[in-house]
Amino acid sequence: MEIRVHGIGGPAAESTLGCDRTTFDSRRSQPSARSSFRRCPGNFGSHAYHWAPLTSGSRTFAVWPLLLPFTLANIAGWMAPPYRSGRRIAVYRAAAVAFGLTMTAAVVVWADIAGWAIWQRVGKLPGWVPGDSGEQHFWLGVATAALVLLLFVLAATYTAAGYERFRPESWGPANGFRWRPAQPWGAGVSKRLDDPRFFDNGGEHRFRWRVHVVVAALTWSAVVTWALTAKGGARDPSRAFGDATVAVGALQALTVGVMAIACLFPNRLDHRPLDWRLLGPATATIASMLLGGLAISTIAAVASFEALPRGRVIMLYDAYGWSIYAAVLMAVGCACYCLASPSEPERSGTRSRLLPTLAARLRARLARFLAYVASIVCAVGLTFAALASVFTVARWSAAGDAHGGWRLSATPPVELARWSFAVVLAVLFLNVAKSRGNPRVLRRIGNIWDIITFWPRTYHPLAVRPYAERAVPELQDAVGGAFGDGPVVLAAHSQGAVLAYAVARSLPRTAGTARARIGLVTFGAPLQSLYAQAFPHYVDLNEVRETRAALGGRWTNLFRFTDHVGRAVFTSDEQAAESAPAAAGDVPLPDPDQTGDGVNGHNDYWPHPAIRAAVAGYEASAAGAPAGARP
């Protein structure tokens, strides 16, 4: 997780890329900041930006899977359709904000249910506790729920480590916090990736926090009042709890439906297939599934499956299992289709140069699997939405009786759901036990969070902290003059390419001399293969090409057809396979290369001779460029 920042005038790129990574520069955004710029020994002109601690440096990192439902709800909001303005984009954003609020209401309901069920499992309490056993369990349960919610808030707040409050000194003082931000839900909702600060504003984040806290308090009060006034009262609140889950679920279904309608029909700006257009609503659906499934599975693991409240609380549990079946079938089908169809170099007749071995050709075919991730996600979301509708209608009356009628049995979908959610819980606790704060283990797991924690917590404040709000400003300050006003070459791999692009997007606004300072070399970049498909409002390929043009064409992207993440950026994979190397900025690399070390895929780009040559070429071409003003 590094970006190499090369100041012109240092040693050649070949020695720079092989520098000793154990030497750290003292340059940090704050004395306590974990991210840093590394410096090669004796070379003050070359640095490597190290942001891995932002995603894996926290000691609470291992419990982040508990925040995964809220993180998915947050990125679903950032999956807005590519419309620049208008009613549909406003409707999508409003629905995403509303869905985030329903997720807060849902976690309150599930916490109440879990607390009550676990105290029921405890059984008889000491005689000095007032009330009968049923009332005792109810009040202790809802009090435990309030405590659990407080722990959630502390977990999300503590792991933020001041991210939303981070401001580089070059920005000047922040505006005072206002109860009413300039925009209804904060500027972060409408800011694009080319915002030079890519900042969600700490004041706006606190405003959203307070709104969600108010929603949580109102939901908790409503559920308690509902249980006390419903049939059974505090002695048996299972029916009230079931109705509460259905009510919140109906609100979630409504908001997801509005999101789907807003992005269902394409226009001239959106040429994506149907599965990619529906990725946002499907991701929101999976967030809701994860929250309910993890809650029920946690109760079953801590108390027992029999301790679950009967009736409507678990009316849709087997729908989780059927949705997982759909995901597995779709994934297997997509993988088989990828293996059976030739890759781009095979169709263009360049396979002997780019894919010289059978293993490489098979790897290249399977590497296209990322293009079908949206199909798998949509299969889960659509299956759950359809079955939830059918099961709710078919089981409503029978499931309304918490003591008789419909019961959940141990069918294969139920067992699959139980084991799947149990695996998530097991991974959670194994991370806590095995990592023991080991930074190397934490970094390895942290690669998973790179994409979903890139985005600011605009749509749900309980999402995992966003590292880009610190990383992008730090890089902008460094490129803008913290390392001097001379020319700079950015070499970035994988997610680093996204960070580098976020930095480079601010350059077209500056003077021409400042544009002449920057050269950009990316490799394994997911800008077109993932970000332009999943987040088209914020990563527009036309703007990517405009950025390259603003840099005077000094942006080269290198990739391998065996890479499952990074592909062509400026052209299609087919055009990159057919055209001459670097014709439009995309350079496909053979894999295996001349070293014959086997298929590398997404790994081991840094020492590749072509990467070093591209960096050295931009260093040489920019060495005589005039020093420009800071961007």
Tokens representing 34 are 């974990």
308 versus 631: the higher-pLDDT residue is 308
Is it the case that residue 251 has pLDDT exceeding 90? yes
* Distance separating alpha carbons of residues 302 and 308, to the nearest angstrom: 11
pLDDT at 574: 87
Q: Contact 123/115 with Cβ under 8 angstroms? A: no
Across the chain, what does the average pLDDT equal? 77
Distance between CA 211 and CA 204 in Å, rounded? Answer: 11
Q: Please give the share of the chain, as a percent, with pLDDT higher than 90.
A: 23
Distance CA 511, CA 500 (A): 19
Give the pLDDT band of residue 405 (cuts 50, 70, 90): low
Burial class from Cβ neighbours inside 10 Å (0-12, 13-18, 19+) for residue 296 reads buried
Least confident of 300-309, 340-349, 547-556: 300-309
Write out the H or E segment, with its range, that includes residue 146: helix 133-160
Mind listing the pLDDT tens digit for each residue in 159-177? 555 566 666 666 666 555 4
Pick the more confident residue, 399 or 337: 337
71, 258, 296 from 255: Cα distances, Å: 17, 5, 23
Of the ranges 38-52, 343-357, 561-575, the best mean pLDDT one: 561-575
- Return the H-helix or E-strand segment holding 284: helix 279-302
Spatial strand order of the sheet with 2-7 comes to 36-40, 43-50, 2-7, 488-493, 518-523, 555-560, 586-589
Over residues 479-489, mean pLDDT? 69
Q: How would you class 572 by CB atoms within 10 Å of its CB: exposed for 0-12, middle for 13-18, buried for 19 or more? A: middle
Please check the confidence at residue 533 and state whether its pLDDT lies above 60. yes
Query: Please, what's the largest Cα pairwise distance for the chain?
Result: 86
Q: What's the pLDDT score for residue 124? A: 65
Highest mean pLDDT: which of 16-20, 43-47, 75-79, 169-173? 75-79
- Residue 277: predicted pLDDT: 92
List the structure tokens of 88.
């549909």
Residue 247 has what pLDDT? 92
- pTM to 2 decimals? 0.87
Phi, psi dihedrals of residue 27, rounded to the nearest 5°: -75, 110
What pLDDT score was predicted for residue 213? 87
CA pair distance 541, 567, nearest whole angstrom: 13
Neighbours of 527 (CB within 10 A): 22
Distance of alpha carbon 566 from alpha carbon 578, whole angstroms: 18
The residue extents of the domains of the chain are: 2-50+467-622, 62-449
Amino acid symbol at 327: A
Lowest mean pLDDT among 280-294, 406-420, 605-619: 406-420
Please give the pLDDT value at position 445. 57
- Could you say which DSSP state residue 44 is in? E
Q: What confidence category does residue 34 fall into, taking pLDDT thresholds of 50, 70 and 90?
A: low
User: In whole angstroms, what is the distance from residue 135 CA to residue 142 CA?
Assistant: 11
What is the mean pLDDT of the segment spanning 28-54?
64
Counting residues of the chain whose pLDDT is more than 70, the rounded percentage is: 70
Residue with the larger pLDDT of the pair 292 and 487: 292
What gap in Å lies between CA 466 and CA 468, rounded to an integer?
6
Task: Label residue 311 left, alpha or beta by phi (over 0 means left) and psi (-120 to 50 means alpha).
Answer: left
Q: What is the pLDDT of residues 149-162, one digit of tens each?
A: 887 777 666 655 55
